[in-house]
């Protein structure tokens, strides 16, 4: 099914925000829709978006490539994105990230064996006073998790696992 | 004020709120929008009315997904209450406010890059002039301010400019939200008059340094800062734009990162360059290439494999970039490098081979 058919209502709402002759502005919100289910934008969706907004596929791809929160490759269902920029690192973010790698048995950039979590190190998330912190990017959007410990993080992952079990 | 520059011969006008904050050390906008959404939205509405804009956009960084959803709710409440929408207060004036999410690019905090992004393009800065009040969103006259500025508007209008100017210093009127982070006991946002000293911010409000250690250095404007060597005189410096300049720094966004005596400056420089290398948009050569090479050099130096010649080269690359970049990002990326090497030579000597 084309993106336009699948998210008819959402796309209509998005397009209403911008002048009709400037519908290209809708490319960013529509890209979020396009990667909602699989966590990345597939080729067919790129073609749909290009057609819908009268831009080229290359332009769509260049936007995906430019912005950190769009992805063109499959990863874990949730991307766990830990900030380890200067202020967070001054509050232990590097140690937190290392310990998390140890606990999950993966390196930064890798995905847990069950395909649930991909661990990433990212730049500033504007929560410098609440480090260690990370955001999760998944099917339900982006959520912040602040003042985190390893225990709290492992609990969160367990909760995601349980939710996953219920869905299946 | 920016608003008076708007071109009244070219219509429609737009107003855009810059809620893309993503500078390491800066974290005030989210707190403002979450804890005081209506004051912010009212300021945005007042600005729109002042310049005759009937559509205003709030450009939020993509990570503020939850904040955008929250603002959407508040905007709907205002529409329901008759404070946004058509024929407001019985006047021939209508206003719609829309949120727009970015997707993780620090450069979109630069106002012309933000406009490009809002137009559905890669967020790369435009060559200026023309400036947004004459050529902004969709080529139309546009006012862009950040969240804090819009949020100040309702109180200033209600109480008068003299009331606002009665706070702060002669150079910098009013109050500022100081974002305090790093090795302090109580990091957070503190709204204080301009002219508050570093010592008051760090010790009275921030609870002092963890483990009671001494302050070694301060970055007063986030990762974009010069690194200030701290002594008693610096701690007693009033934080306003003019006075902070006298100690070799800029107050900028007032994002105060505090470094204690356990922190090595070569590590700080490596961290800041890691950030700028990642966030350089790639449009202009000095910033794109300069940050690439600065990253290689700071990584080598910090790992202990560097030599004194590497430090000299790093300083040289940073100075070569200064004054040559298309926007402030490139310029900012050199600040910690140059001041770190020049003001903390011992920290670099310690890690490099002879």
Q: Let me know whether B290 and B319 are in one domain.
A: yes
CATH of the domain at B89: 3.40.50.11540
pLDDT digits (tens, 9 = 90+) for B40-50: 999 999 999 99
- Residues B352, B354: Cα–Cα separation, whole Å: 6
Contact indicator for B123, B102 with CB cutoff of 8 Å: yes
Q: Let me know whether B254 and B313 are in one domain.
A: no
Domain that holds residue A61: 3-66
DSSP H helix total and E strand total for chain B:
15, 9
In the predicted model, is pLDDT for residue B237 greater than 90?
A: yes
Residue at A120 is within a domain: yes
List per-residue pLDDT tens for chain A, 168 residues long.
899 999 999 999 999 999 999 999 999 999 999 999 999 999 999 999 999 999 999 999 999 999 999 999 999 999 999 999 999 999 999 999 999 999 999 999 999 999 999 999 999 999 999 999 999 999 999 999 999 999 999 999 999 999 988 776
Chain-centre distance of CA B225, in angstroms? Answer: 11
In the predicted model, is pLDDT for residue B2 greater than 90?
A: no
pLDDT digits (tens, 9 = 90+) for B140-162: 999 999 999 999 999 999 999 99
How far, CA to CA in Å, does B306 sit from each of B266, B309, B316, B340? 11, 8, 15, 16
Q: Specify the pLDDT at position A168.
A: 60
Q: Let me know whether A92 and A128 are in one domain.
A: yes
Q: Let me know whether A85 and A142 are in one domain.
A: yes
How far, CA to CA in Å, does B23 sit from each of A99, A121, A124, B46, B300? 26, 16, 7, 27, 24
Contact indicator for B150, B47 with CB cutoff of 8 Å: yes
Written as one string, the DSSP assignment of B113-131 is: HHHHHHTTS---PPPSSSP
Q: Specify the pLDDT at position B354.
A: 72
In the predicted model, is pLDDT for residue B205 greater than 90?
A: yes
Alpha-carbon distance B65 to nearest alpha carbon in chain A (angstroms):
6
Q: Let me know whether A54 and A85 are in one domain.
A: no
Contact indicator for B38, B74 with CB cutoff of 8 Å: yes
Q: Let me know whether A163 and A134 are in one domain.
A: yes
Name chain A contacts of B63, Cβ cutoff 8 Å. 69, 125-126, 135, 142, 144
Residue at A73 is within a domain: no
Q: Let me know whether A41 and A106 are in one domain.
A: no
How far, CA to CA in Å, does A65 sit from each of A58, A59, B24? 10, 10, 23
Nearest chain B residue to A70 by CA distance is: B103
Nearest chain B residue to A24 by CA distance is: B120
Name chain B contacts of A129, Cβ cutoff 8 Å. 27, 179-181, 187-189
Residue at A108 is within a domain: yes
Q: Let me know whether B240 and B273 are in one domain.
A: no
Residue at B166 is within a domain: no
Q: Determine which of B181, B188, B221 to mutate to test the interface with A (most A C-beta atoms within 10 Å).
A: B181
Tokens for A28, please give them: 């960013």
Name chain B contacts of A22, Cβ cutoff 8 Å. 119-120, 138
Strand arrangement, sheet containing B142-146? B96-101, B55-60, B14-19, B142-146
- Residues B154, B151: Cα–Cα separation, whole Å: 7
Residue at B94 is within a domain: yes
CB-based contact A24 B119, cutoff 8 Å: yes
Contact indicator for A134, A145 with CB cutoff of 8 Å: yes
Alpha-carbon distance B206 to nearest alpha carbon in chain A (angstroms):
11
Residue at B299 is within a domain: yes
pLDDT digits (tens, 9 = 90+) for B163-201: 999 999 999 999 999 999 999 999 999 999 999 999 999
Q: Determine which of B57, B62, B84 to mutate to test the interface with A (most A C-beta atoms within 10 Å).
A: B62
The helix (run of H) or strand (run of E) holding residue B223 is strand B215-223
- Cβ neighbours, 10 Å, residue B86: 12
Q: Let me know whether A162 and A88 are in one domain.
A: yes
Residue at A112 is within a domain: yes
Domain that holds residue B180: 175-260
CB-count exposure of residue A110 (10 Å: 0-12, 13-18, 19+): middle
- Residues A84, A133: Cα–Cα separation, whole Å: 9
Residue at A71 is within a domain: no
Name chain B contacts of A14, Cβ cutoff 8 Å. none
Alpha-carbon distance B159 to nearest alpha carbon in chain A (angstroms):
31
Q: Let me know whether B81 and B182 are in one domain.
A: no
- Residues A155, B153: Cα–Cα separation, whole Å: 43
Q: CB under 8 Å to B313, separation ≥6 — which residues?
A: B297
Q: Let me know whether B108 and B93 are in one domain.
A: yes
Q: Determine which of A29, A89, A125, A126 to mutate to test the interface with B (most B C-beta atoms within 10 Å).
A: A126
pLDDT, average across residues B127-135: 96
Q: Let me know whether B249 and B123 are in one domain.
A: no
Q: Specify the pLDDT at position A49.
A: 98
Which of B204, B227, B260 terminates a domain? The answer is B260
Listed residue (B311, B299, B304, B307) closest to B338, CA to CA: B311
CATH of the domain at B330: 1.20.1440.230
Q: Let me know whether A62 and A82 are in one domain.
A: no
Nearest chain A residue to B270 by CA distance is: A86
CATH of the domain at A140: 3.40.30.10
Q: What's the structural domain count of chain A?
A: 2
Alpha-carbon distance A35 to nearest alpha carbon in chain B (angstroms):
13
A146 touches chain B (CB under 8 A): no
Which of B260, B276, B309 terminates a domain? The answer is B260
Q: Strand A78-83 vs strand A117-122: parallel, antiparallel, or unpaired?
A: parallel
Listed residue (A142, A27, A112, A84) closest to B64, CA to CA: A142
Residue at B134 is within a domain: yes
Listed residue (B172, B237, B171) closest to B202, CA to CA: B237
Length of chain B: 354
Name chain A contacts of B225, Cβ cutoff 8 Å. none
Tokens for A69, please give them: 């929160």
Strand arrangement, sheet containing A141-145? A117-122, A78-83, A134-138, A141-145
Q: Let me know whether A25 and A54 are in one domain.
A: yes
Residue at B165 is within a domain: no
Alpha-carbon distance B147 to nearest alpha carbon in chain A (angstroms):
14
Structure confidence at residue B4 as a pLDDT band (50, 70, 90)? very high
CB-based contact A126 B257, cutoff 8 Å: no
pLDDT digits (tens, 9 = 90+) for B95-129: 999 999 999 999 999 999 999 999 999 999 999 99
Tokens for B312, please give them: 């000299």
Q: What's the structural domain count of chain B?
A: 3
CATH of the domain at A24: 1.10.10
Tokens for B121, please give them: 């393009």
Q: Let me know whether B41 and B108 are in one domain.
A: yes
Alpha-carbon distance A56 to nearest alpha carbon in chain B (angstroms):
12
Contact indicator for A130, A146 with CB cutoff of 8 Å: yes
Q: Specify the pLDDT at position B122.
A: 97
- Residues A2, B11: Cα–Cα separation, whole Å: 37
Q: Let me know whether B208 and B277 are in one domain.
A: no
CB-count exposure of residue A128 (10 Å: 0-12, 13-18, 19+): buried
Written as one string, the DSSP assignment of B246-282 is: TTT---TT-EEEEEETT--HHHHHHHHHHHHHHH--S
Pick from B24, B102, B279: which is nearest to A87 by CB? B24
CB-based contact A67 B29, cutoff 8 Å: no
Q: Specify the pLDDT at position B75.
A: 98
- Cβ neighbours, 10 Å, residue B2: 15
Pick from A24, A124, A143: which is nearest to B24 by CB? A124
Name chain B contacts of A127, Cβ cutoff 8 Å. 27, 30
User: Chain A window 21-80: which residues touch B at a Cβ cutoff of 8 Å?
Assistant: 22, 24-29, 31-32, 53, 55, 59, 62-63, 66-70
Pick from A22, A69, A123: which is nearest to B278 by CB? A123
Please provide the distance, in angstroms rounded to a whole number, between the alpha carbons at the two ends of chain B: 53
Please provide the distance, in angstroms rounded to a whole number, between the alpha carbons at the two ends of chain A: 23
Which of B260, B288, B314 terminates a domain? The answer is B260
Name chain B contacts of A62, Cβ cutoff 8 Å. 122
Name chain A contacts of B117, Cβ cutoff 8 Å. 28
Q: Let me know whether A116 and A87 are in one domain.
A: yes
φ/ψ of residue A55, rounded to 5: -125, 170
Q: Give bridge partners of residue B148 from the DSSP assignment.
A: none
Contact indicator for B208, B47 with CB cutoff of 8 Å: no
What torsion, rounded to 10 degrees, do the Cα atoms A93, A97, A100, A102 define? -130
Q: Let me know whether B152 and B183 are in one domain.
A: no
Q: Let me know whether B20 and B144 are in one domain.
A: yes
CATH of the domain at B210: 3.10.20.600
Q: Specify the pLDDT at position A3.
A: 94
Chain-centre distance of CA B90, in angstroms? Answer: 38
Q: Let me know whether B136 and B191 are in one domain.
A: no
Residue at B164 is within a domain: no
Residue at A72 is within a domain: no
CB-based contact B27 A28, cutoff 8 Å: no
Q: Specify the pLDDT at position A165.
A: 82
Q: What percent of chain B has pLDDT over 70?
A: 100
pLDDT digits (tens, 9 = 90+) for A34-76: 999 999 999 999 999 999 999 999 999 999 999 999 999 999 9
């Amino acid at each position: 099914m084309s993106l336009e058919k699948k998210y008819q209502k959402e796309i209509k709402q998005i397009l209403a925000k911008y002048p009709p002759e400037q519908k290209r502005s809708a490319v960013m919100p529509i890209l979020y829709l396009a990667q909602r289910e699989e966590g990345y934008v597939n080729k067919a969706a790129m073609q749909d978006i290009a057609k819908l907004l009268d831009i080229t596929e290359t332009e769509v791809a260049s936007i995906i490539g430019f912005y950190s929160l769009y992805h063109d490759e499959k990863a874990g269902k949730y991307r766990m994105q830990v900030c380890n920029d200067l202020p967070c690192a001054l509050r232990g973010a590097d140690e937190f990230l290392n310990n998390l790698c140890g606990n999950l048995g993966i390196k930064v950039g890798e995905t847990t064996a069950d395909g649930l979590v991909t661990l990433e190190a990212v730049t500033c998330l504007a929560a410098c006073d609440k480090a260690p912190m990370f955001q999760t990017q998944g099917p339900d959007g982006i959520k912040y998790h602040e003042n985190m410990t390893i225990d709290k993080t492992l609990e969160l992952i367990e909760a995601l696992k349980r939710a996953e079990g219920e869905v299946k | 004020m920016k608003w008076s520059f708007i071109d009244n011969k070219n219509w429609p006008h737009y107003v855009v709120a810059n809620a893309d904050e993503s500078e390491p050390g800066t974290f005030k906008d989210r707190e403002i929008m979450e804890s005081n959404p209506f004051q912010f939205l009212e300021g945005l509405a007042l600005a729109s009315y002042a310049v005759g804009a009937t559509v205003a956009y709030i450009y939020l960084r993509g990570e503020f997904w939850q904040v955008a959803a929250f603002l959407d709710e508040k905007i709907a409440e205002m529409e329901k209450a008759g404070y946004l929408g058509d024929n407001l207060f019985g006047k021939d004036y209508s206003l719609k406010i829309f949120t727009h999410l970015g997707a993780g690019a620090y450069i979109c905090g630069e106002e012309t890059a933000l406009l490009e992004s809002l137009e559905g393009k890669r967020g790369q800065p435009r060559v200026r002039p023309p400036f947004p009040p004459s050529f902004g969103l969709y080529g139309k006259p546009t006012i862009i301010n950040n969240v804090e500025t819009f949020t100040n508007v309702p109180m200033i209008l209600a109480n008068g400019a003299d009331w606002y100017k009665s706070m702060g210093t002669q150079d910098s009127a009013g109050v500022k939200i100081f974002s305090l982070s790093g090795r302090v006991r109580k990091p957070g946002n503190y709204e204080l008059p301009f002219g508050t000293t570093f010592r008051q911010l760090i010790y009275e409000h921030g609870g002092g340094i963890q483990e009671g250690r001494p302050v070694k250095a301060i970055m007063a404007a986030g990762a974009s800062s010069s690194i200030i060597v701290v002594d008693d005189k610096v701690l007693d410096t009033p934080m306003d734009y003019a006075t902070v300049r006298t100690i070799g720094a800029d107050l900028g966004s007032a994002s105060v990162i505090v470094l204690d005596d356990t922190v090595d400056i070569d590590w700080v420089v490596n961290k800041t360059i890691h950030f700028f290398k990642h966030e350089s948009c790639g449009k202009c050569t000095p910033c794109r290439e300069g940050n690439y090479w600065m990253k290689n050099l700071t990584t080598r130096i910090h790992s202990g494999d560097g030599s004194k010649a590497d430090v000299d080269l790093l300083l040289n690359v940073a100075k070569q970039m200064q004054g040559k970049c298309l926007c402030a990002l490139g310029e900012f990326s050199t600040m910690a490098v140059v001041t770190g090497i020049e003001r903390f030579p011992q920290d670099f000597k310690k890690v490099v081979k002879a």
